Amino acid sequence: MTTAPTIGVFDSGFGGLTVLRALAARLPHAQFAFLGDTARLPYGSKSRRTIARYAAQSAQFLAREQGAEFIVIACNTASALALDAIQDAVSVPVLGVIEPGAEAARAASRTGDVLVIATDATVQSHAYAAACQARGLHGIEKACPLLVPLVEEGWTTHPVTAEVIRIYLAELNAEAAAKGLNADALVLGCTHYPLLRPLIEKAVPAGMRVIDSAEAVAEAAVHLINGRAAVAIPKQEAERPILSAPLAERMGAEAGLAPHAAQIRCFATDSVDKFERLGSSFLGRPTGKVELVDLGG
Amino acid sequence: MTTAPTIGVFDSGFGGLTVLRALAARLPHAQFAFLGDTARLPYGSKSRRTIARYAAQSAQFLAREQGAEFIVIACNTASALALDAIQDAVSVPVLGVIEPGAEAARAASRTGDVLVIATDATVQSHAYAAACQARGLHGIEKACPLLVPLVEEGWTTHPVTAEVIRIYLAELNAEAAAKGLNADALVLGCTHYPLLRPLIEKAVPAGMRVIDSAEAVAEAAVHLINGRAAVAIPKQEAERPILSAPLAERMGAEAGLAPHAAQIRCFATDSVDKFERLGSSFLGRPTGKVELVDLGG
C-alpha cells in the first residue's frame, strides 16, 4: 500500500471543519491536515490586503510544513478575497469554495435567480455574484454578520437566532423582489452556516433549495482529484496542474467509508481549548488533540 | 505655550473610542493618538499569550512612534490579560480599565455585590472578580459574546438586542440570587457596551446602578495626571513613576472645554473605512482621517 497523500484544509477558524467533514466522507484513504488561523479570526470583517497576507501564510504552513499536495480553502472569505494570493504563495493545486458553491447553485436553480448569504467581506468582494454571472445566473448577496457569533455562542436552535435569520432573509427577499427576481436557491456562503441549516430551511419560502457550499467544495475536490476538472473547477484552477494520476489513485477517491476512517490532524494558531471544545460539532467527530502553531502574526 | 503632550489610547478595535471620548472631555489640552488593532480584533475570544503579544506591539507603536508619554488601555480584554506585558513593553506609565471600573463599582454599590458583563476572555481572566475582591466587594462576571457583534451591526436599539440583553441579565441575576447575593451595581466591562446603555438601563432591576468603565478610566487618568494616584490607581501602576508635575501641567487636566477641542489622531491596523464609518458613533464626533499602520502581524 502506498503512503496516503495529505490534503491541506484551511480556514480562519473552525467553521471549515464542516468542509473537512464532507471531504473526509468522500476521501477516506486520504490524510488531512486542517489549519484554523484562530489567532487572527475572523477574516470576514477585515480587508483584502490583510486577508491575503494571513491566508498565504496559512497555505504555506500546510504545503511546506505539513507536506500538503492539494489545498482546499474551507473559508468563503479567504476564497473570495485571496484565492490568487494563495495560489501564488504555494506550488500545489488550490481549490476555493466560491466556484463550487456557484456551480451547485446553477445545478439547483430553475429560475436562474440565486440568493447568497455570507460574511461582510465575502459580500463586499462580490465573488459569488461574479461566479453566478459567469454561469448565466443572477446572484443577490447579503452580509449576515450576526450568524457566526450566534453559532459560536452555541445558539444554533435558539429563538433569537431564528428571529435574526428571519430578519436577514426578509430583507434579502424584499431586495430580490424589488428587482423583479424570482429566486429559488439560497447559497450558504459561510462554513459556519451549515450548523444553522435546520433553522434556515424553516425560514426560506417553500420550494427554495438551500445549497451547502461545504458539500459543494467537497464534491469539486473529488472531481479535481479524479481529473474530471471540467465539472466544477474555476478558471484559475483549471489553468494550474491538476493532481497527477498516481496521486489521485493514492487519494482513494471513493465513497462508502465512514468519515472516521480518514486520518485527520488539526492545527490552530490560538485557542486550542475552544477549538477542541466547539470543533467536534462542526466535524461530526472529536477533533483529537489540536496542535498550536505560530505563523508569526 | 508649551507643546501639548501626547496620550496614547489603545484598543483592539474602535470600541475604545468611548474611552477616548471621555478622556478628551476631561483633558482638552492634551493631544491623543488612538490605535485600533483592527487587523487582529477581536481580542475577546483569544488566549492570554496571543493578546499579550498583540497588545505589547500596539503599546510600543504608541510610545515609540507616536511619542505617547502616557498610555491608556481602552480595552477590557487587554487590560485584564496583558497589563503586565504592556507595562514591560514600554517605559511610560500605563493605565488599564479594570481597576478604575472596580473602583467605580465600590463607590456605587451599597450591598457590596456587583455584576460584571464582559467578553469571554475578560471573564475567563477573572480580573474584575479579583479587583472587586481586593476592595471587599463580591463580583460575579458573565461573558456576553453577542453584544459586540450586535453593536457592530448597528442594532443598538433593536428588539433582538433588547432580548439578548434580557437573556444574559436574567442568567446573571439568577446566578447571583442562587449564591444569596443582592447585587446593586452592574459594570459594563467592555468598551462597546456604553452604546447599549439605554437598553441595559431598561433591563436592569430598579435601583441597580450601571457603571461605565470608559468614564471610570477617564476619571482615573485625570487623577493619575494630577498626581492624586491614591484614588483609583491599581497597585502595579502605583509602583511605577506617575507623571511628572510639569507634564501634568502641560496636560491641562481641567474640565469644561468641549471634547472637540482636543487634538486626536487615529490609527488602525486594518479596515480604515469601517473605522471611519462606525467610529464617530463611539467618539461622539468624526474620527477624521484614520491612518493605516502595519504592526507586522
Q: Does B160 touch chain A (CB under 8 A)?
A: yes
Give me the sign of the Cα torsion angle B227, B228, B234, B239. Answer: positive
Residue B228's pLDDT is 44
Q: Does A170 touch chain B (CB under 8 A)?
A: no
Residue B141: name the closest of B88, B102, B197 by CA.
B102
What value does the mean pLDDT take over residues B165-180? 97
Q: Is the predicted pLDDT of residue B87 greater than 80, yes or no?
A: yes
- Note the pLDDT tens digit of each residue in B53-67: 999 999 999 999 999
Angle at B44 between CA B41 and CA B46, to 5 degrees: 85
Q: Does A160 touch chain B (CB under 8 A)?
A: yes
CA–CA separation, A26 and A23 (whole Å) = 5
Give the minimum alpha-carbon distance from A257 to chain B in angstroms, rounded to a whole number.
36
Contact indicator for B221, B99 with CB cutoff of 8 Å: no
CA–CA separation, A99 and B17 (whole Å) = 40
Query: Taking chain A, what is the end-to-end CA distance rounded to the nearest angstrom?
Result: 40
- Note the pLDDT tens digit of each residue in A3-62: 678 999 999 888 899 999 999 999 888 899 999 998 888 787 788 888 999 999 999 999
Cβ neighbours of A270 in B, within 8 Å: 46-47, 50
CB contact under 8 A, A163 and B167: no
Q: Does B270 touch chain A (CB under 8 A)?
A: yes
Cβ neighbours of A148 in B, within 8 Å: 149
SS3 state at A189: strand
What mean pLDDT value characterizes chain B? 87
Name residue B20's amino acid. L
Cβ neighbours of B45 in A, within 8 Å: 41, 152, 271, 274
CB contact under 8 A, B163 and A164: no
Contact indicator for B75, B282 with CB cutoff of 8 Å: no
- Note the pLDDT tens digit of each residue in B22-37: 999 998 888 999 999 9
Q: Does B88 touch chain A (CB under 8 A)?
A: no
**Chain B interface test: which of A81, A164, A166, A273 (most B C-beta within 10 Å):** A164
**Chain B interface test: which of A43, A160, A276, A290 (most B C-beta within 10 Å):** A160
Q: Does A171 touch chain B (CB under 8 A)?
A: no
Contact indicator for B67, B173 with CB cutoff of 8 Å: no
SS3 state at A176: helix
Q: What are phi and psi of B68, to 5 degrees?
A: -65, 135
Residue B259: name the closest of B10, B34, B73, B1 by CA.
B34
CB contact under 8 A, A160 and B153: no
- Note the pLDDT tens digit of each residue in B106-141: 999 999 999 999 988 899 999 999 999 999 999 999
Q: Does B102 touch chain A (CB under 8 A)?
A: no
Q: Does B145 touch chain A (CB under 8 A)?
A: yes
The strands making up A185-189's β-sheet, listed across from edge to edge, are A138-143, A113-118, A185-189, A209-212
Give the minimum alpha-carbon distance from A294 to chain B in angstroms, rounded to a whole number.
10
User: pLDDT grade, residue B223 (50/70/90)?
Assistant: confident
Which positions of A are annotated as active-site residues?
Answer: 75, 190
Give the minimum alpha-carbon distance from B81 to chain A in angstroms, rounded to a whole number.
14
Which residue among B160, B271, B274 places its CB closest to the CB of A164? B160
Q: Give Cα B251 distance to the centre of its chain.
A: 20
Q: What are phi and psi of A3, to 5 degrees?
A: -70, 135
Q: Is the predicted pLDDT of residue B197 greater than 50, yes or no?
A: yes
- Note the pLDDT tens digit of each residue in B224-264: 887 644 333 444 444 444 455 445 555 544 433 444 468 99
